[in-house]
Amino acid sequence: MTSTPIFAVIGAGMAGLSCASELHAAGLGVRIFDKSRGAGGRMSTRREGSGQWDHGAQYFTASTPEFTQQIESWLAAGVLAQWQPQLAIIPPRPAASSSHPRRYVGVPAMTAPARHLATRLPLECLRTIDAIRRDGQGWQIHSTERGWHEERFAGVALAMPAPQAAALLRAAAPGLAAEAGAFAMTPCWAAMLQYESAPPLPFDAAFVNHGPLRWVARNASKAGRDANHCWVLHASAEWSAAHEEDPPDTVLRALLQAFTELGAPPPIVARVHRWRYANLPAIETAPAPGMLWQADLGLGICGDWLHGGKVEGAWLSGRALGRAIAASPRARRGAAAASASSGL
Ligand SMILES: Cc1cc2nc3c(=O)[nH]c(=O)nc-3n(C[C@H](O)[C@H](O)[C@H](O)COP(=O)(O)OP(=O)(O)OC[C@H]3O[C@@H](n4cnc5c(N)ncnc54)[C@H](O)[C@@H]3O)c2cc1C
């Protein structure tokens, strides 16, 4: 008996969901697995009490017609809005360019576009995939929560930061693991603060060019958020790398001190989060091929780091991998056999 080939996508961030959407649109079977509680990855929102913080990606932009079209569909679905903050540069300096990019944010939270993509796709959360292997029947995945899953897959797409993909591939595909291992990613310490009332700051968001901070933003300046006086602070990549292993309390104190120097009062809630693999370094460590697909193995990788970084890069990378898989003999053979056996 033949059936539609099913592909596993590991990672439900923007890259994995974009890849899975392409596979689904091509009529292929797909299952997505993610170790966290929901879709979004680094397009993430933390909630605690009355507080809400987009503590990963802050906003995104579009430079390609393909992603602009995707943005239009998210705007039409009401899961995205343009963001036009009162933006400062500290210390003040003339803007490097006179063009102002359109900035977009998920509504009511940064996770919204990813969750919207995931609604049509089978996603299993709280599955940390820690091994994959292949035999004559296909690929099998192992999660810390369920052990070896019984289902066999025609192929596997990894959609996660480079160091995590390299670790997962080391035993199953050392060549691909080495390619992923050539990419470095920088950490980012993020602080999440809540105030009793609005801090007296003359901006909604600011690029900060001295001290530990690189970015600060008032969460409620984005559409659809409650006016809960929540701010997100991001440390610079350099400072985050230098303090990567510092105790969270020490990091929080340093970031709070720097924000106080910008005029902020003491917060009523203060939390800190370390993104170990946040962004690509400013200087490329390896050329960006868009995605990696090894057709003979049925194994591929996508992610922002393969497409220049950022949300748009993640979406484009996932889409490119999904299309490569759908066009591969392994997918077409299975799909043709499935339609023949169903009499189509
Ligand atoms: C602090 C910060 C600020 C940022 N600011 C911006 C910005 O302003 N604009 C912008 O465009 N981009 C920004 N980015 C980058 C942007 O968030 C990413 O480019 C994009 O979200 C990456 O998507 P992805 O799908 O490639 O990876 P991810 O979003 O990292 O998705 C990977 C997914 O894989 C899952 N996963 C990993 N390992 C496993 C495993 N073993 N088993 C199961 N699941 C696994 C993770 O849980 C995650 O959901 C920022 C990122 C950070 C961290």
CA of 257 to the centre of ligand 1 (A): 28
**Is 251 in contact with 243 (CB distance < 8 Å)?**
yes
pLDDT for res 343: 46
**Is 188 in contact with 275 (CB distance < 8 Å)?**
yes
Q: For the chain, what is the domain count? A: 2
168 and 62 within one domain: no
Confirm or reject: Cβ of 79 under 6 Å from ligand 1: no
Q: How far apart are CA 70 and CA 273, in angstroms?
A: 30
265 and 203 within one domain: yes
**Is 252 in contact with 242 (CB distance < 8 Å)?**
no
pLDDT for res 102: 96
pLDDT for res 335: 57
Range of the domain at 329: 6-44+115-183+285-341
Q: Pairing between strand 213-218 and 292-294? A: unpaired
Residue 28: give its domain's CATH number: 3.50.50.60
pLDDT for res 4: 80
Ranges of residues in the chain with a pLDDT under 50 are: 1, 338, 341-344
Pick the residue whose CA is nearest to atom 21 on ligand 1.
42
CA of 32 to the centre of ligand 1 (A): 15
pLDDT for res 149: 97
Give, for ligand 1, the residue of 21, 145, 160, 292 to mutate: max count of ligand atoms closer than 8 Å to Cβ. Answer: 160
158 and 291 within one domain: yes
Confirm or reject: Cβ of 59 under 6 Å from ligand 1: yes
Confirm or reject: Cβ of 54 under 6 Å from ligand 1: no
pLDDT for res 1: 43
DSSP assignment of 308-343 equals TSHHHHHHHHHHHHHHHHHHSHHHHHHHHHHHHHTT
pLDDT for res 344: 40
249 and 189 within one domain: yes
pLDDT for res 93: 76
Confirm or reject: Cβ of 161 under 6 Å from ligand 1: yes
Q: Has residue 1 been placed in a domain?
A: no
Q: Nearest Cα to 300, choosing from 320, 277, 278?
A: 320
Confirm or reject: Cβ of 335 under 6 Å from ligand 1: no
pLDDT for res 332: 75
